[in-house]
Structure 1
Amino acid sequence: MNNFVFQNPTKLIFGKGMIAQLSTEIPTTKKILVTFGGGSVKKNGVYEQVKEALANHDVTEFWGIEPNPAVETLREAIDLGKRLKADFVLAVGGGSVIDGSKLIAAGIAYDGDAWDLVKNNALAKHTVDLGAVLTLPATGSEMNSGAVISNLEKQEKLVFGSPTSFPKFSILDPQVTYSLPKFQLGCGIVDTFVHIMEQYMTFPSNSMVMDRWAEGLLQTLVTLAPRIMEDQTNYDVMSNFMLTATMALNGFIAMGTPQDWATHMIGHELTAFKGITHGVSLAIVYPSMLQVMINDKMDKLVQYAERVWGITDGTPEEKAKAAIKKTEQFFRSVNIPTKLSEVDVYEDTVKDIVFRFKERNIKLGEKQNIDYTVIERILLKSL
Structure 2
Amino acid sequence: MQNFVFQNGTKIIFGKDTEQFTGQEAAAYGKKILLHYGGGSIKASGLYDAIVQSLREQNAEVFELGGVQPNPRVSLVREGVAICKEQGIDLILAVGGGSVIDSAKAIAAGAKYEGDVWDFFTGKAEVSGSVPIGVVLTIPAAGSETSNGTVITNEDGWYKRAMGHQSLRPQFAILNPVLTYTLPPYQTACGITDMMAHILERYFTNEKHVELTDRLCEAALRTIINNAHTVLAEPANYDARAEIMWAGTIAHNDLLSTGRIGDWGSHDIEHEISGIYDIAHGAGLAIIFPAWMKYVYKHDVNRFAQFANRVWDVEIDLNDLEKTALKGIEKLEQFFSSIGMPVRLAEANIGAEHFEEMAKKGTERGPLGNFVKLQEADLVQIFHLAK
1:361–1:122 Cα change, 3 Å: closer
Residue 355 of structure 2 contacts residue 380 of structure 2 at CA under 8 Å; is this kept in 1?
yes
Query: Which residue number corresponds to residue 373 of structure 2?
Result: 369
- DSSP-derived class of the 2:34 partner: strand
Displacement of 1:119 in angstroms is: 1.9
Residue type of the alignment partner of 1:113:
D
One-letter amino acid of the structure 1 residue matched with residue 134 of structure 2: G
1:344 to 343, 349, 354: 349
How far does the alpha carbon of each residue in 1:217-251 deviate from its partner, in whole angstroms, 9 at most, with x for none?
01101101110110110111101100000000000
1:318 equivalent in alignment to 2:317: no
Q: Are the counterparts in 1 of residues 261 and 370 from structure 2 also a CA contact under 8 Å?
A: yes
| SS at 1:149 equivalent | strand
What TM-score results when the alignment is normalised by the length of structure 2?
0.96
Residues 45-56 of structure 1 mapped to structure 2, 5 A cutoff = 45-55=46-56, 56=59
Separation in structure 2 between the aligned mates of residue 3 and residue 47 of structure 1, nearest angstrom: 43
Aligned to 2:251: 248
- Structure 1 stretch displaced more, 152-161 or 112-121: 112-121
Alignment pair present for 1:304 and 2:307: yes
- Please report how far the alpha carbon of residue 43 of structure 1 lies from its aligned counterpart in structure 2 after TM superposition: 2.0
Deviation at 1:73, TM superposition (A): 1.1
Point out the more displaced range, 174-183 or 346-355: 346-355
Distance in 2, Cα, partners of 1:149 & 1:160? 9
Q: 5 Å matches for 1:182-201?
A: 182-201=185-204
Greater mean deviation of Cα atoms: 209-218 or 119-128: 119-128
Q: Choose 262-271 or 342-351, whichever is displaced more.
A: 342-351
> 1:13 aligns to what SS in structure 2?
strand
Does 2:156 correspond to 1:153? yes
Tell me the distance in 2 between the aligned counterparts of 1:112 and 1:244. 37
1:106 deviates by: 1.2
Partner of 2:96 in structure 1?
Answer: 93
In the alignment, residue 372 of structure 1 is paired with which amino acid?
E
Mapped pair 1:128 → 2:112: no
Note the alpha carbon deviations across 1:246-284, whole angstroms, 9 max, x for none. Answer: 000000111001211111000000011111110111011
User: Which whole-Å CA distance do the structure 1 matches of 2:362 and 2:163 have between them?
Assistant: 19
Hey, what's the Cα distance between the residues in 2 that align with 1:151 and 1:25?
Answer: 32
Q: Is the 8 A contact 2:206 2:371 kept in 1?
A: no
Give runs of aligned pairs for residues 32-111 of structure 1, distance below 5 A. Answer: 32-55=33-56, 56-111=59-114
Structure 2 counterpart of 1:11: 11
Distance across 2 between alignment mates of 1:307 and 1:31: 49
* From 104, 113, 116, the counterpart of 2:116: 113
TM-score relative to the length of structure 1: 0.97
Give the alignment's Cα RMSD to 1 decimal: 1.4
Post-superposition shift, 1:204?
5.1
| Structure 2 gap ranges (5+) | none
Asked if the contact 1:105/1:127 (under 8 Å) is kept, the reply is: yes
Counterpart among 347, 350, 356 of residue 361 in structure 2: 356
Please show how residues 219-258 of structure 1 align to structure 2 within 5 Å.
219-258=222-261
- How far off is 1:145 after superposition? 0.8
**Per-residue deviation, residues 12-33 of structure 1 (Å, max 9, x unmatched):** 1101111111222122742111
The count of corresponding residues between Structure 1 and Structure 2 is: 382
Quick one: distance in 1 between partners of 2:83 and 2:236? Answer: 37
Q: Name the amino acid aligned to 1:370.
A: L
Conservation of the 8 A alpha-carbon contact between 1:203 and 1:300: no
Change (3 A) 1:14 1:121: farther
In structure 2, do the counterparts of structure 1 residues 272 and 124 end up closer, same or farther at CA, with 3 Å as the change threshold?
A: same
The amino acid that maps onto 1:246 is: T
- 2:278 is the counterpart of 1:275: yes
Q: Percent identity?
A: 37
CA separation in 1, counterparts of 2:234 and 2:348?
A: 27
Unpaired segments ≥5 residues, structure 1: none
Any idea what SS the aligned residue of 2:48 has? helix
Partners of 2:368 and 2:360 in 1: CA distance: 15
Distance in 2, Cα, partners of 1:292 & 1:177:
35
Q: State the shift of 1:122 in Å.
A: 5.0
Which residue is equivalent to 2:382? Answer: 378
Aligned to 2:212: 209
Moved more, 342-351 or 332-341: 342-351
Segment of structure 1 superposing worse, 298-307 or 43-52: 43-52
CA distance in structure 2 between the aligned counterparts of 1:8 and 1:368, rounded to whole angstroms = 28
- In structure 2, distance between residues paired with 1:241 and 1:122: 36
Q: Give, in whole Å, the separation in 1 of the partners of 2:124 and 2:265.
A: 20
Deviates more, 1:287-296 or 1:108-117: 108-117
